Structure 1
Amino acid sequence: MMKGCVYKGPLQSMQFLELDKYKKRVFQVLLALTIVSGTVFVFFNYQRGQSALALIEMAIVILSVGLMIRVNKIRNREKFLRIALVYLTFFLSVMMFAFSVEGVSITVFVWALGIPLISYLLLGVETGFIMTAIFYSLTASLFYRGFHAHVSMVDSIAYANFIACAFVFWGISHSYEHSNRFAKDRLNQLAVFDHLTGLYNRSMVTKLFTKAIESPNTHQQQISVISFDLDHFKNINDQYGHAIGDEVLQRFSQVLMEQIPAESSAFRMGGEEFVVILPTSNEAKANNLAEKIRKAIEQDLIISGLPKAFYVSVSVGVITDWVKSANLNSMLKAADQRLYQAKQQGRNVVVSHG
């Protein structure tokens, strides 16, 4: 990817807003365990005369059943995180209530060791850290209030064991989730972006075209597909080397990113072929943008390894359709046909009418 060149197209707003299926699976398992174990604890606590705790546990069982149904239908990451945050806040609050019940066993605090694990797994690094810090602090306060005079806690080493164990769980959860997120982000980049130019690769064309036509702006009821092909690019590679060819591709991509509006998407389709998907209010704006990019390449694309007399140019094909009737495959085909016409007309031109 080009140094200093980070593409900020529509994916920044959807990224990876797709739900991590593994987090969803963890949540489903956790909900199932909550339903089963919660039901068991409702029975035992009711038998022990802890009616208030039993009622609260019954509430979280009912909540978990409802969330289980809801989570099965979720596909969006933001919605998932909101639901997970609601569940975890309620779940950990119930845990704190259980810790504060008069006569509770010291062994119940072993549940606190799971706080960082489920917080990080469900909520990620930042929110997981905050959640752990809050509820670990509450747990420490409740534990000290209830058991500072307990026979097991008369020796300072006992506190050291509890604290060390808690921080081990916290540290492992934090480091694992941080490394896991870094690895997934890296894989996402490799799957989504072209490594040389920083543009989206062709695998993202269908997804971002669909996104554009499903949520059009009020003033952008049309959509354009603009195809670009660098002229005589094979000759550049053959005469001046692939390193110069790569620099041409990178500089051209940088021009695309500088010229296209924020709501559009730019792709490297392969080799010297590029595509821009542009939501627009009328056909003329797409044609004007294509011509603006063509001129920018002709006038400003200067490569140090090429002779001064050599200029890089691009041929362009443009097709525009109404959002309601737009079809990606037919538009790509039409844009390529017009691009071919541009080549036949001598290159370095924009063809927007068949």
Structure 2
Amino acid sequence: MIESQVNPYKRRVFKALLFITALGGLIFFLINFNRGLFLLASLELVAGGISLWLFFQVYRKLPLAKFRQLTMTYVLIFYALMLFALTRSNVSSNIYIWVQVIPLISYLLLGLKRGFLMTLFFLTLFVLSFLVFIDLPVELKEAASVANIVFGTLLTWGLSHAYEKATVDSQAKLKKMASTDHLTGLNNRSLLQTYFEAAQSQTQFKYKQLAVVVLDLDHFKVINDTHGHDIGDLILKNFSKVINDCVNHPNHAFRIGGEEFCLICANTSLEQASILAESIRTQVSAQKIEVDGEALTYSVSCGVSVSDDKHISFKALHAEADRRLYMAKSSGRNLVINQG
């Protein structure tokens, strides 16, 4: 499924971080101003102000791309200020514990891939800065102090990565379960509009023809009533396998419901879509399923419609294919109709 909406969980996390950062920017401004670190204090006040501005931006309804821009802006400003603070003299020695929040914030806001890359980049930058440019305080030159910071940071990184990976995997599994027909393994009707729009976009840049094929198993109710639903389910599984064997990307197959199926084919002419439907029909007719020692056969009727209108809706194109499907049914079944 195409990701297009902001994750509500990440939105709440971002708002909480912005509020804390805005409040922290004010507090650290007062602390460092009183300590005579005027430049650092000013930057912290600016960062707090930016966080407050971002906080109110997030309350608006944002597209995913805009939300990602805001989170990346926050992360870059926060880490750059942190690096600047660590290089100042007269700062508290325990400021180095802030390095350990880098993996946590990166993964929470940026996700698995970008979170990993951002963590790797900034931690590498911090290490190089300390090795080349910065003279560590005496208390941090002890092996135990260095080990605490290093292993504490690695532990945070490892846990953040493992948690985000588990979250991504579980979300992907839930999305697949929600969008896949459990019996046939094909997409269910919830993805029809999404994939139709995606196929429509592909069609506009290439051959400018978009096809919809509607397929319906013949006399399926009779098969269920005569042989039972287990045999009906077996036929549906076999039929879905035929579809998978015949179609390939960017053809998308769906089980609309019951014994009705649909194909959305980008950059496909009427002739090509008809050949595809005929190939499925022929393979289905050749199938023999053994039931109680007898060979059971079944057939499928198909309706095909094609359009080069870039503004046509799925409803309109599907209705035309569906009308031709019923022409195939009324003409004796086990047919492909692409005209009329």
TM bucket, shorter chain = 0.7 to 0.9
Q: Secondary structure at the match of 2:205?
A: coil
TM-score normalised according to structure 1 size: 0.78
Aligned to 2:78: 91
Write the mapping of 1:241-320 to structure 2, written as runs, cut at 5 A: 241-280=228-267, 282-299=269-286, 301-303=287-289, 310-320=296-306
Q: Deviations over 1:33-89 (max 9, x none)?
A: 334433443454345333432454455456556756776454236x64465345423
CA spacing shift, 1:215–1:279, aligned 2, 3 Å: closer
| 3-state SS, counterpart of residue 306 of structure 2 | strand
> Greater CA deviation, 54-63 or 107-116?
54-63
Aligned residues: 337
CA deviations on 1:157-190 (whole Å, 9 max, x unpaired) are 5555444543443343233222222221111111
What letter corresponds to residue 257 of structure 1 in structure 2? N
Segments of 5+ residues of structure 2 without an aligned counterpart are none
Report sequence identity in percent: 36
Greater RCO, 1 or 2 (C-alpha within 8 Å, sep 6+): 1
1:329 and 2:312 aligned: no
State the Cα distance separating 1:349 from its structure 2 match: 0.3
Aligned twin of 1:203: 190
- CA-to-aligned-CA distance 1:191-232 (integer Å, 9 cap, x gap): 111122222111111232234445642334343322111123
Provide the rounded CA distance (Å) in 2 between the counterparts of 1:128 and 1:46: 33
Higher mean C-alpha displacement, 278-287 vs 136-145: 136-145
Which residue identity does 1:76 align to in structure 2? L
Could you tell me which residue of structure 2 aligns to residue 75 of structure 1? 63
- Structure 1, 287-296 or 31-40: larger mean CA deviation: 31-40
Cα distance in structure 2, aligned partners of 1:313 and 1:101: 78
Structure 2 residue 8 is the aligned partner of structure 1 residue 30: no
Aligned to 2:339: 353
* Bigger mean CA deviation after superposition, 214-223 or 19-28: 214-223
Q: For the residues of structure 1 that align with 2:212 and 2:120, how far apart are their CA atoms? A: 49
1:180 paired to 2:167: yes
Alignment of 1:44-193 (within 5 A): 44-57=31-44, 60-61=47-48, 64=51, 72=60, 74-76=62-64, 80-81=67-68, 84-136=71-123, 139=126, 146-147=135-136, 149-150=138-139, 157-193=144-180
**Cα contact 2:290–2:296 (8 A) shared by 1:** no
Distance 2:81 2:184 in 1: 51
Tell me the amino acid that sits aligned with residue 332 of structure 2.
Answer: G
- Note the alpha carbon deviations across 1:109-162, whole angstroms, 9 max, x for none: 232232221111112234323433444455567679655522x875x5555544
Three-state SS of the structure 1 residue aligned to 2:204 is coil
Point out where structure 1 has 5 or more consecutive residues left out of the alignment: 1-10
Range that drifts further, 247-256 or 38-47? 38-47
Cα distance, 1:59–1:233 mapped onto 2, change above 3 Å: same
Alpha-carbon offset, residue 314 of structure 1: 0.8
Mark the CA change 1:82 to 1:255 in structure 2 (over 3 Å): closer, same or farther.
Answer: farther
AA of the residue aligned to 2:327: Q
Change in CA separation of 1:259 and 1:82 when aligned onto 2, cut-off 3 Å: farther
AA at the equivalent of 2:119:
T
Q: 1:163 to 1:43 in 2, by over 3 A?
A: same
Would the aligned equivalents of 1:341 and 1:351 in 2 still touch at CA under 8 Å? yes
1:124, 1:168 → 2: CA distance? Answer: 18
Task: Note the aligned Cα RMSD (angstroms).
Answer: 3.5
Equivalent-residue separation in structure 1 for 2:57 and 2:303 (angstroms): 46
User: Residue 341 in 1 paired to residue 327 in 2?
Assistant: yes
Instruction: Note closer, same or farther for the CA distance 1:267–1:70 as it changes in structure 2 (3 Å cut).
Output: farther
Task: Determine the C-alpha separation between the residues in 1 that align with 2:71 and 2:290.
Answer: 54
